Structure 1
Amino acid sequence: MDLLTLLHVFSVAFVGLTKGNSPLPAGPLNAAVGGNVLFKTKLDPTPLQSIIWGFGTVGTIITSTSTEDTITPGYEGRLTVNTSTGSLELRNVSTDDSGIYTVTIIPQTGRVLTGTTTLNVQVPVSNVKINTSSTDLMEFSSVRLSCSSSGSTPSFHWFNDSSEVTADRVQITDGGSTMTIVSVTRYDQGPFMCFVSNLVSNGTSDPVTFTISYGPENVTLQVSPPQKYHPEGSDVTLSCSAVSEPTVEFTWLFNGVPQSGKGAEFRLMNIQMNHSGSYSCEAFNSKTMRNETSQPLLISVLKNISDVSVTSSTALPVEGQSLNLTCDASGSVFTKEWMKDGSNLISTDNIMFYDNNTVLSFKNLRRKDNGRYTCRVISPISNDSFTYVMDVNYGPENIKINGPNKIYVGKTLKLSCSAESTPTATYTWKHNGKVIHHSSEYTKDSVELSDSGEYICEATNSVTEKTDSNMRRLEVTRWKCGPGCIAGIVFGCLAIILLVAALVLAIVKKKYLMEKFSKGTSNRTEGEGQDNTAYGGSQELNYADVRFFRNRNGGNVELGQQNEVSEYAAVRVNNKPPATSSPPTYNAHMERVKRPAPQPDYDGPQYAQVRRN
């Protein structure tokens, strides 16, 4: 036995003593077939005397000193030792290289170091595949997936998309290579993948996706426009939908009878009353061979309300009688409402409704029942109304006669008659039982004593056929003058006499004032050279306004409206000494002032206004 072998045996013998100072890290090491593996020590580079590596039952596979390497046959070209750290590289490994490796390192100084580690050499994972009997499944069926691969000691994991499969409905068998989905649902479509791994590699299969047939279910029927009632002549579209894979075929039913058409829509154009009924759709899945029918949908086709009318049981309503108002209409009638003057009517002791509000009945008409009665006919798609105007006929009653009870011979007699009545009553006048006039008013000029007696006014209502009357007694007498009358005549005559006397006095007084006025004027001339300055001097022009005279009793006597026309007289200023002259008379004065005044050669004429009242 050579020296190196002895040293290796010695080191192995004392391995227990140096185990605590193993130069190798904790193992094991894993390598793939055909790959390289490095057994790296924990030592820093340092001069070493010798390095010995051994493998399992083979023993020493390489001994390395500072001068040479000794390699066991079969390992030539596959081993390399780092002489400064003791690390070993093993190349092109195979599964036969799996096992326990030992190392003995003898430094130039110090104690001997020994260590062991394990190498696992495995075939890499490859060719990962999923096998299944079918990818076209029915909901609630079962499916089995098998995963196969190449490689050493594979480990299997299953994924649905990116999530690992752990559902209760899944069974994993055959070391994980087989997955069974029990009671497949529509959510188990995948994609499913198989992940295979070992110590040295891993691989994933191509995804597998299932087509899962299910349904039909949740079959739903809708109508457009979305309403229960539809006007006659309109268009209606029915739409059917279902949850299903693959897409279903639809069959339409009207009152349970199949109709033509297989699409998801069923159109009703220009619908009529005979289209009213129950509609439903049936969905059929040719894959699952299942079918399901929707809930029935009721379509009601209605006619618009038209031709509303209200008729009365009698043409002329009379107070105290009964009356029925009947409301009729064409179209689809649902309800009828009655209103009076815009307010809803309700049943009372006197008002009743019959035949679903078709008839409005009055038990006993009253005049307060006058008004506008409206019947409103209503349906879900339209409404219309009609108004009937009721005038309750009544009377005559409360006959009243207006006129005198007593009148004098020769006077005019006027009598008028009135009555409460609808329509207006006709009137007849009777005098002492004899018809004398046909009108509400009776007039007679210059009555006589024979016109005394009973005057009767008869009022007749042509509708109610009622007559009522009232009587007025008239007394015609001659006129007589008593003591009071005579006294009145005397006083009247005296008043007239006093009035005449006052009038005469007023005229005399007026004439007097006029003459006085004429004397007060001065410096007036007609151009003949007459000078009146002797009577003028510095006297002022006076005006008199005579309109009223007071009589002896203190009363005023009005003369009436007087002429207020103003007249003007020319006054010539004469500076010559006054000549003796007498004043003109009133009449002469009036004649002069009416003539045009002469124009002087000096300062010009001056005028004074004289108002005659």
Structure 2
Amino acid sequence: METSAGFWLLAVLLLAATSFSQDQTVKYFKVGDTLQLSPQPVSEQIYNVVWKYGKNLLAEWAKDQIPLTYYSKFKGRTTVNTDTGVLEIRDMTAADTRLYSVEINNQVQSQVYQIVEIEAVPQPEVKVTPLLCNSTSESCKLVCDGVINKAGPVEYFWKKDEGEWDQSGKEMEILNDGETQRVKTFSCRMKNLVSESDSEPIDNPLYQEKTPDCGLCVTLSGAVMRSLAILTPCWAAVCLWTKRKTLRKCTNTHS
């Protein structure tokens, strides 16, 4: 009996724990930003709001009972909309990184927010591997490099010459084919939720100057030579006829 009672007690506790599961949303901010958090909508008019960071009170209000009150470091830079429960914190600092939760009408909401500070992305640099990559290599790899330890989720983009930016990964493989050989430079871009930065263009190690088609040159040269062969006798005849006409005119004038 004791074993059975213990089993059912454990089952009830597990059910209670799973009936209130928290939905955690990660939100990122940069120092100095304004952060806005919205509670889940409720069907009735709001008469009570309590915001917490960690286990500490951030702000609270109860209609006709507790005036809107802000606590500790949030005084003077925080606003709570008592109609919607929306929380706004200005001039965010690194110390504001914490888990935030809200209680509306005496009901703790399952939605919580993990607030994380991130920094602006650095200016990236395009690096080529292997170092000996050149126009005779079959392929090479380009890396969009930069220290992003505190930059949060980062997206990468690549650009050929002055073309459009295409989203891709941190690394990009380039093949020594006709298309790549015509590209003079490559650039990369890093972007996170608060900033973006572009690298300086780097010369394409697989670039090759486009040489004229020798077959076309031979064809054109042959056509020019044939044209000259045809036109030269005609030109000589015209010159001779013109010269004779001029001499005849001069003779008639002197006689």
Give TM class, smaller chain: 0.5 to 0.7
SS at match of 1:86: coil
1:419-476 deviation line (CA, Å, top 9, x unaligned):
xxxxxxxxxxxxxxxxxxxxxxxxxxxxxxxxxxxxxxxxxxxxxxxxxxxxxxxxxx
Query: Could you tell me how far 1:61 is from its partner in structure 2?
Result: 2.4
Query: Aligned AA for 2:86?
Result: S
Task: Give the structure 2 partner of residue 125 of structure 1.
Answer: 121
With over 3 angstroms needed to count, the CA separation of the structure-2 counterparts of 1:177 and 1:187, relative to structure 1, is: closer
Query: Aligned AA for 1:198?
Result: N
Query: Does structure 1 retain, via aligned residues, the 8 Å contact 2:157–2:165?
Result: no
Task: Give the structure 2 partner of residue 88 of structure 1.
Answer: 87
For residues 95 and 17 of structure 2, the distance between their equivalents in structure 1, rounded to whole angstroms, comes to 25
1:152 aligns with 2:156: no
Match runs of 1:148-187 below 5 Å: 148-149=145-146, 151-160=151-160, 161-162=163-164, 164=166, 176-183=169-176, 185=178, 187=180
Task: Give the structure 2 partner of residue 439 of structure 1.
Answer: none
Q: Which has the higher strand share?
A: 1
With over 3 angstroms needed to count, the CA separation of the structure-2 counterparts of 1:159 and 1:165, relative to structure 1, is: farther
1:513-535 deviation line (CA, Å, top 9, x unaligned):
xxxxxxxxxxxxxxxxxxxxxxx
1:369-389 deviation line (CA, Å, top 9, x unaligned):
xxxxxxxxxxxxxxxxxxxxx
With over 3 angstroms needed to count, the CA separation of the structure-2 counterparts of 1:27 and 1:137, relative to structure 1, is: same
Query: Does structure 2 retain, via aligned residues, the 8 Å contact 1:156–1:195?
Result: yes
Query: Does structure 2 retain, via aligned residues, the 8 Å contact 1:138–1:184?
Result: no
TM-score where L is the length of structure 1: 0.27
User: Equivalent of 1:194, from 167, 181, 188?
Assistant: 188
With over 3 angstroms needed to count, the CA separation of the structure-2 counterparts of 1:196 and 1:70, relative to structure 1, is: same
SS at match of 2:101: strand
For residues 15 and 78 of structure 1, the distance between their equivalents in structure 2, rounded to whole angstroms, comes to 36
Query: Radius of gyration: which is bigger?
Result: 1
Match runs of 1:34-113 below 5 Å: 34-41=32-39, 42-43=41-42, 46=45, 48=47, 50-56=48-54, 58-66=55-63, 67-106=66-105, 112-113=106-107
Query: Does structure 1 retain, via aligned residues, the 8 Å contact 2:126–2:145?
Result: yes
Query: Aligned AA for 1:117?
Result: V
Match runs of 1:258-407 below 5 Å: none
With over 3 angstroms needed to count, the CA separation of the structure-2 counterparts of 1:225 and 1:152, relative to structure 1, is: closer
Query: Does structure 2 retain, via aligned residues, the 8 Å contact 1:191–1:208?
Result: yes
With over 3 angstroms needed to count, the CA separation of the structure-2 counterparts of 1:32 and 1:45, relative to structure 1, is: farther
With over 3 angstroms needed to count, the CA separation of the structure-2 counterparts of 1:32 and 1:193, relative to structure 1, is: same
Query: Does structure 1 retain, via aligned residues, the 8 Å contact 2:135–2:176?
Result: no
Task: Give the structure 1 partner of residue 135 of structure 2.
Answer: 138
Query: Could you tell me how far 1:36 is from its partner in structure 2?
Result: 1.0
TM-score where L is the length of structure 2: 0.56
Alignment root-mean-square deviation, CA? 4.4
Q: Percent identity?
A: 18
For residues 178 and 213 of structure 1, the distance between their equivalents in structure 2, rounded to whole angstroms, comes to 22
With over 3 angstroms needed to count, the CA separation of the structure-2 counterparts of 1:210 and 1:204, relative to structure 1, is: same
Number of residue-to-residue matches in the alignment: 200
SS at match of 2:152: coil
Task: Give the structure 1 partner of residue 239 of structure 2.
Answer: none
Query: Could you tell me how far 1:226 is from its partner in structure 2?
Result: 4.5
For residues 81 and 137 of structure 2, the distance between their equivalents in structure 1, rounded to whole angstroms, comes to 65
Task: Give the structure 1 partner of residue 199 of structure 2.
Answer: 205
With over 3 angstroms needed to count, the CA separation of the structure-2 counterparts of 1:187 and 1:165, relative to structure 1, is: farther
1:136-185 deviation line (CA, Å, top 9, x unaligned):
9536565553323453342323333226388xxxxxxxxx4343434364
For residues 187 and 206 of structure 1, the distance between their equivalents in structure 2, rounded to whole angstroms, comes to 19
For residues 147 and 82 of structure 1, the distance between their equivalents in structure 2, rounded to whole angstroms, comes to 43
For residues 138 and 178 of structure 2, the distance between their equivalents in structure 1, rounded to whole angstroms, comes to 8
Query: Could you tell me how far 1:80 is from its partner in structure 2?
Result: 2.2
Q: Unmatched 5+ residue regions in structure 2?
A: 1-15, 237-255
With over 3 angstroms needed to count, the CA separation of the structure-2 counterparts of 1:64 and 1:141, relative to structure 1, is: same
Q: Unmatched 5+ residue regions in structure 1?
A: 1-13, 107-111, 167-175, 236-269, 271-613
For residues 156 and 139 of structure 1, the distance between their equivalents in structure 2, rounded to whole angstroms, comes to 28
With over 3 angstroms needed to count, the CA separation of the structure-2 counterparts of 1:52 and 1:162, relative to structure 1, is: same
With over 3 angstroms needed to count, the CA separation of the structure-2 counterparts of 1:140 and 1:128, relative to structure 1, is: closer
Query: Could you tell me how far 1:85 is from its partner in structure 2?
Result: 2.6
SS at match of 1:74: helix
Which has the higher relative contact order, 1 or 2, with Cα contacts under 8 A spaced 6 or more apart?
2
Query: Does structure 2 retain, via aligned residues, the 8 Å contact 1:130–1:148?
Result: yes
Query: Does structure 2 retain, via aligned residues, the 8 Å contact 1:104–1:113?
Result: yes
SS at match of 1:196: strand
